Chain A
């Protein structure tokens, strides 16, 4: 092997080893067994970022469908998990809208709402608005079709007003 080839080999080995070390310090595996899992996650992340960069990013339809199924079965925690995994980059307004809606439905109460969930729902709704201001859901099961309507509902739910003490409030329906 000529000296130049050895130098090229040295540069490549050094670069590869340095990247490996930087990656280890980034993902911080707890044990050697964790390494393959971390590597797989990293590859998935890199693939997604590349797809976003070149404009071919798509939501994972299988996970989205599973999320929708759980959402309709009122299993909101599992639904949110599926939606988040379907849209890891948080770039799809439709998926993000369902996540926001799941916070609303889970937090809704006839006597009192869950403020923590409503606040999370509000943040999520703002994200949908920033992604697509004119988004409108085509799901017939949802009474609130746009993020603006959902935002209004969540904000009203967080306010404490005289109408909150109206006993007839328990008759209201979740949207």
Chain B
């Protein structure tokens, strides 16, 4: 660069209104050495004065996410996980989770700890205030409730499919307990497990379920195969809306897991 013909000048503007001297905004202008800067040469890079997110503001946002939104997401999963819509009168059906769902959720939490998705000493510590420990416990309780209800959503309600699914879940989770894991692999494994269970329950089994008909005989004549499968597998008749609700429930749960932090650092 020829220094005799041009010079670099940094035009500095200060945020006078906010009196925030820690942040300046400006742009580089290249003008001949004998020319005065004019308005034409002045090119605006950014029309808005950026307000920097200070460390405190970032911390506040993280706290809102961690202590307010995350439990709300998990509790929404807990609310929707047991909700079904009846096929006959489109009424809400609230199904309480069977005991096996609580066992699976407990194993899941152990897996979360083992794979360092949650570090126990990063969540609970003597050095933390009691309030912080309680708030962290509230998040974990909501996570447990959400895990329970996720299994409740994915397990068929009764009969042979219930026990088949329960066995598959148990087998997978039990094997995972003794496998070498990291967070990414665990989430991939859970994503695969839940995705497969969702497809089998809400697409395949729901497709085999006979639609509501006026009488048993009419049902046999109109949909003999579906009636046979419904009877053999003891499939409950729920409205298609149930599948949509459970799809979003599963989505919320995975979003919640994604937002979960291994440890909650001290401010």
Q: Do the beta carbons of B91 and A10 come within 8 Å of each other?
A: no
Q: Do the beta carbons of A30 and B91 come within 8 Å of each other?
A: yes
Closest chain B CB from A128 CB (angstroms) = 36
A-contacting residues, B160-215, CB 8 Å: none
1/0 per residue, CB under 8 A from A, across B44-78: the answer is 00000000000000011001101110011001001
Given contacts A15-B138, A21-B78, A31-B91, 7 further A-B contacts (CB under 8 A): A6-B68, A10-B71, A11-B138, A13-B71, A25-B94, A25-B96, A28-B92
1/0 per residue, CB under 8 A from B, across A8-29: the answer is 1111011101100100110011
Interface range for B: 20 to 34
Closest chain B CB from A155 CB (angstroms) = 41
Q: Chain A residues near B94 (CB, 8 Å)?
A: 24-25, 28
The 8 closest A-B pairs by CB, nearest first: A10-B67, A30-B91, A7-B135, A14-B71, A6-B63, A14-B138, A17-B75, A28-B94
Q: Do the beta carbons of B71 and A25 come within 8 Å of each other?
A: no
Interface residues of B (CB under 8 A from A): 59-60, 63-64, 66-68, 71-72, 75, 78-79, 82, 89, 91-94, 96, 129, 131-132, 134-135, 138-139, 141-142, 145, 267
Interface size, chain A (Cβ < 8 Å): 21
Q: Do the beta carbons of A9 and B92 come within 8 Å of each other?
A: no
Q: Chain B residues near A31 (CB, 8 Å)?
A: 91-92
Known contacts A7-B135, A18-B75, A29 near B92 by CB under 8 Å: yes
Task: Label chain B's interface by main secondary structure.
Answer: helix
Q: Do the beta carbons of A10 and B68 come within 8 Å of each other?
A: yes
What is the CA–CA distance of A10 and B133 in the complex, to the nearest angstrom? Answer: 12
What is the CA–CA distance of A3 and B67 in the complex, to the nearest angstrom? Answer: 9
Is A1 in the interface zone, CB < 8 Å from B? yes
Q: Do the beta carbons of B59 and A3 come within 8 Å of each other?
A: yes
Known contacts A10-B135, A31-B92, A24 near B68 by CB under 8 Å: no
Nearest-neighbor residue (CB-CB) of A5 within chain B: B63
Is A159 in the interface zone, CB < 8 Å from B? no
